[in-house]
Structure 1
Amino acid sequence: GKLKANPANPRVLRDDKFLRLRKSIEGFPDMLRKRPIVAVTDADGKYMVLGGNMRLRACQDLKLKKVPVILADEWTEEQRREFIIKDNVGFGEWDWDALANEWDADKLTEWGLDLPKQGGDPFDDEGVVAKDQFGVIVMCADEAEQEHVFTRLSSEGLNCKVVVT
C-alpha cells in the first residue's frame, strides 16, 4: 500500500516482543483506532511512519487491509525527529505493588508487560535474588555523548544503565 516503515527508525523490537505485539493487535484490533499510526507524506507520495513502525509491521504480518493513520505533514523536520523519540520514551515507572494487588499477572504478561521475576529469599521485600552482574563501563566525554551511547546501545537490545562517576 501507500504506507511504509521508516528506514531510519531507531527502535528495535525483538522477536518475542514482536510476537506479543502481533498477538495484542490480533486480540484487540479496535485499539488501533484509538492509537493510530502517525505518518508523513514522503517525496514518493507514500506515507512514511513516524510513530508505529512495529505496529505497522505487525498489521502487515496479520494481513490487515486497513490501518488507521494520522498525517503530520505540517510538522518541520525537527518536529518529526523529536516526535520519533518522544513517542518511544517511557517517562513513567510502574507501581509494582499496585499492579500486583489489582491486576492479573497472566493478563499483564499477555498484554506485553515484562514483570520482574519472583521468588528467592523470603526476607527480600522485592522477591528478587541477588546475582552477579557483569558489565562494561564506557567513558564518555560529556553528558551528550553519554546519552548518544546509551540510546544507541539500548536500541540494539542491550541492557544499559547510566552512571556518573
Structure 2
Amino acid sequence: MQTQLVKVKDLKNNSGQIEGLPKNPRILKDDKFIKLKKSLQDDPEMLQLREVIAYDNNGELVVICGNMRLRALKELGVKEVPTKILPKETSVDKLRAYTIKDNVAFGEHSWDDLANEWDAEKLEEWGLDLPGFDVNNETEHKDLSGDLKETFEVIISCNDETHQEQVYNKMIADGFNVRVLTL
C-alpha cells in the first residue's frame, strides 16, 4: 500500500455506508476536538507519519481510520491529506478490526515518569488526560509541615488471630498505645 495525497473533499466519513461495517463509533468531546485541530495545525507533518486509511466502496473513499482527523481537517480548510487506500479484497471483518484497533491504546503510561520528566501543561495540550491533576488549578498550597509530629512505630507480625490477641493484651498490659490491624 502506497501513501497518496487525496483531496479532503473526496474522502467520506464512515457513516455505515459499507455493508457489514457499522458507522465509526469514535466521538470526541468539544475540548478534545479543539485539541485535535490545534495538534494538526501545530504538527501537520504528523499526517505523514500517521495517515488516514480509506477503503474504496464502489468509487466512494470511506475513511476507516482517521474519521475525527478528517472532520478536523475539513474544518481547518485543508485541501489534501496523506491517505492509504486499502485493497478492494479487504474483508469487512478486517475493516471492523481496523476501525476499533486504530483507537485502542494497548500500552499504559508510567505516571511517575510523566509527573517527574514531562511538562504537565504540554501533556494536556497534546491531548493526554492526566487523571486527578488539573494544570489550570491555581489553588494555593497550604504548608502542613507544622502539623506533623514524629511518631515511632513497631509492626509485629503474628501467626494467627489468637497470637495477635495475646500480643495485643500483653502490650496493653505493659502500657503501650496499640492498634490492631488485620491485613
- Structure 2 residue identity aligned to 1:10: P
Q: CA deviation at 1:67?
A: 0.6
Query: 1:71 matched to which residue of 2?
Result: 85
- TM alignment of 1:47-126, pairs within 5 A: 47-73=61-87, 74-118=89-133
> Structure 1 or 2: larger strand share?
2
- Structure 2 residue identity aligned to 1:72: L
Structure-2 separation of matches of 1:12 and 1:68: 22
Q: CA deviation at 1:15?
A: 0.8
Give the secondary structure class of the aligned counterpart of 1:68: strand
Q: Unaligned stretches of 5+ in structure 2?
A: 1-8, 16-22, 134-138, 144-183
Structure-2 separation of matches of 1:26 and 1:46: 27
Structure-2 separation of matches of 1:2 and 1:22: 20
**Please, what TM-score do these two structures have when normalized by structure 1?**
0.69
Give the secondary structure class of the aligned counterpart of 1:16: helix
Structure number with greater Rg is 2
- Structure 2 residue identity aligned to 1:54: M
**Please, what TM-score do these two structures have when normalized by structure 2?**
0.62
Structure-2 separation of matches of 1:2 and 1:41: 11
Q: CA deviation at 1:94?
A: 1.1
Query: 1:42 matched to which residue of 2?
Result: 57
| Count of matched residue positions in the alignment of Structure 1 and Structure 2 | 122
Query: 1:16 matched to which residue of 2?
Result: 31
Structure-1 separation of matches of 2:36 and 2:45: 14
- Structure 2 residue identity aligned to 1:47: L
- TM alignment of 1:119-138, pairs within 5 A: none
State the identity as a percent: 50
Question: What is the root-mean-square deviation in Å for CA atoms of aligned residues?
Answer: 2.1
